[in-house]
Structure 1
Amino acid sequence: MEWKFKLEKYLNVKLLNYHHKKSFRNNVYLVEVINQDNLKMKFIVKKYEKPKAGNEAFIINSLRNWGLLVPQIIWNDNNIIIMEYIDGILLTDLLSDTNINHQDWVNHLARWLYQLHGTIRHADSNCLCKSDLNLRNFVFTGENNFYGLDFEEVCYHPPERDLGGLCAFILNNDPMFTQWKFRICSLLVENYSKLNANTNNYQLDYQAIQYYLIEEMKAAAERREKQRPYLLAKIEELGGELNIFNSSK
């Protein structure tokens, strides 16, 4: 395969093995290689269906230069990206681990989002946002740090869009709509709000967060045919509440 040839040629390594990782749009591989000094290393190789790798590489490099925690790009052309492998726990797995104190990591997730939004911020309150808020696109390293993955596209919205959208992904991830997940969402918004209050005159609009949460829930209902009736019922229920970001919920 083309990506194997480029990996070995441009990194001057030998491929030992690879594992195909879950991805809805492109082919993503976790690879293990060995270099000329017999040092084994792991990388992520992303093979694009369309020649757009250069766009994502540019975005990731820019975010990294601005101090955001994202993987380092090792090599790329317009079809393939070879990047640093981040060893950690995916956010989707964090939420299913009952042995973890979830409050320990929520603040770090809020800080990562806040830093992303601070990279580009317009006078109309729109800022750089993460297009794909899937829980698999956030990795907790266990060093009080979150890394963001997958930047094929970015968008510009108020920060409430990312907060509401991410809360929707958290709530409708199995087990769905549990009380402790509502508390996680409340804590995420609360921690973000504290960071925002310390450095910005802009005040979060909690109704806007709820609006974006419900919009993402509607999108999830469209994607998930079997869960659609349940999700639509929860959307109606949540839409009638004045403030779902209540830590006592």
Structure 2
Amino acid sequence: MRDIQELLDNVEKYKNALLQKRFQSKKNTVAYVLSDSHPRVLKWFVPGLRRNMEIEYSVLKKGLSDLSIPSPLEKDTENTVLVMSYIIGENICDNINDATKNFEDKQKSMHQLADWFFRFHRFFKTEEGFRIRGDATLRNFIMSRGKIWGVDFEESRMGRPCEDLATLCASLLSTTPMFTDEKFHLCHTFLDTYQKSATWTVEHISANISYALLERIQWRPQDEELLRNYATKIRTKGLQRARHNF
């Protein structure tokens, strides 16, 4: 993975940017900087993922009018850099997994997340089908100014809403603390809220959650046995019954 300082040191237009924070990213280099005293996010795509940059820019540009997402300020195609507004707030993954937070506040966050997904799917729905956000993990959401904001849309594609919902539930269940009663309750809150708003059918959610849990093994190999066990139980018994301990 390239370091953002390489971009700041060697590309003239970014030399006035002051690095504030590096973000974790599986594919690209992402950082929060101050550019002429303005807070910005620089997402530096590897050359082979130029198409991902185009996808993310398109989603941000189209969705900005109706969705809580960053503003796309510049698409630097020469250097494969996307410049975006910086959303100040708390990562939802940290919020949900914080034992000092009360359950009611976490439930409220789930209601807001469900509403965010509903609005995203409704906004991008066409006669051809749905656009899903992709990579719908808790870490790609921020609580700021009392609202949920979504970030990171390079994996957005045409698909089924249940794929996004299942990925979010798998992320919720499999982050530490894993597979607790509270986590299962929050999943149900999230899914119930979404389904009450949606005018379209959400099918095979348990099977999709099971698949999403198996996908997470590549990032959590140390938890493979536990992830496989719960994936099997959710697929065969359903989410409601799977919450009980083995």
With normalisation by structure 1, the TM-score equals 0.83
The one of 9, 28, 31 equivalent to 1:29 is 31
Summarize the Cα distance change of 1:104–1:248 in structure 2 as closer, same or farther, 3 Å threshold.
Answer: farther
Q: Is the 8 A contact 1:117 1:159 kept in 2?
A: yes
Deviations 1:105-140 (A, max 9, x none): 11111111001101232558x411122112211111
Structure 1 pair 216–22 and aligned structure 2 pair: CA distance change class (3 A): same
Query: Residues of 2 paired with 1:219 and 1:111: CA distance?
Result: 25
Secondary structure (helix, strand or coil) at the match of 2:208 reads helix
Distance, in Å, in 2 between the alignment partners of 1:151 and 1:68 is: 13
Deviation at 1:73, TM superposition (A): 1.3
Q: Percent identity, please.
A: 22
Contact 1:48/1:80 (8 A) holds in 2: yes
2:202 alignment partner, one of 184, 201, 204: 204
Q: For residues 159 and 7 of structure 2, what CA distance do their matches in structure 1 show?
A: 37
Whole-angstrom distance in 2 between the partners of 1:128 and 1:162: 10
8 Å CA contact 2:209–2:231 kept in 1: the answer is: no
User: Aligned-residue CA RMSD in angstroms?
Assistant: 2.4
Amino acid in the other structure paired with 1:81 = L
Establish whether residue 172 from structure 1 lines up as the match of residue 174 from structure 2. Answer: yes
Higher helix share: 2
Report the CA distance shift for 1:203/1:19 in structure 2 as closer, same or farther (over 3 A). Answer: closer
Q: Distance in 1 between matches of 2:175 and 2:74?
A: 34
Instruction: Say if 2:40 and 2:85, in contact at 8 Å, map to a contact too.
Output: yes
In the alignment, structure 1 segments of 5+ residues that lack a partner are 9-13
1:130 corresponds to 2:137:
no
Q: CA deviation at 1:247?
A: 9.9
- Whether 1:97 aligns to 2:95 is no
Unaligned runs of 5+ in 2: 1-5
1:69 pairs with 2:68? yes
CA shift, 1:245, in A, is 8.1
Q: Secondary structure at the match of 1:83?
A: strand
**After the TM superposition, which residues 78-97 of structure 1 pair with which residues of structure 2 at under 5 Å, given as runs?**
78=77, 79-97=80-98
Equivalent in the alignment of 1:46: 43
Q: How does 1:110-129 map to 2 (within 5 A)?
A: 110-122=114-126, 126-129=129-132
Contact 1:7 1:82 in 2 (8 A): no
Q: Counterpart of 1:70 in 2: which secondary structure?
A: coil
**TM-score normalised to structure 2 length:** 0.84
Aligned residue-pair number = 230
Match of 2:209 among 202, 209, 213: 213
- Residue equivalent to 1:11: none
The CA deviation at 1:248 is: 10
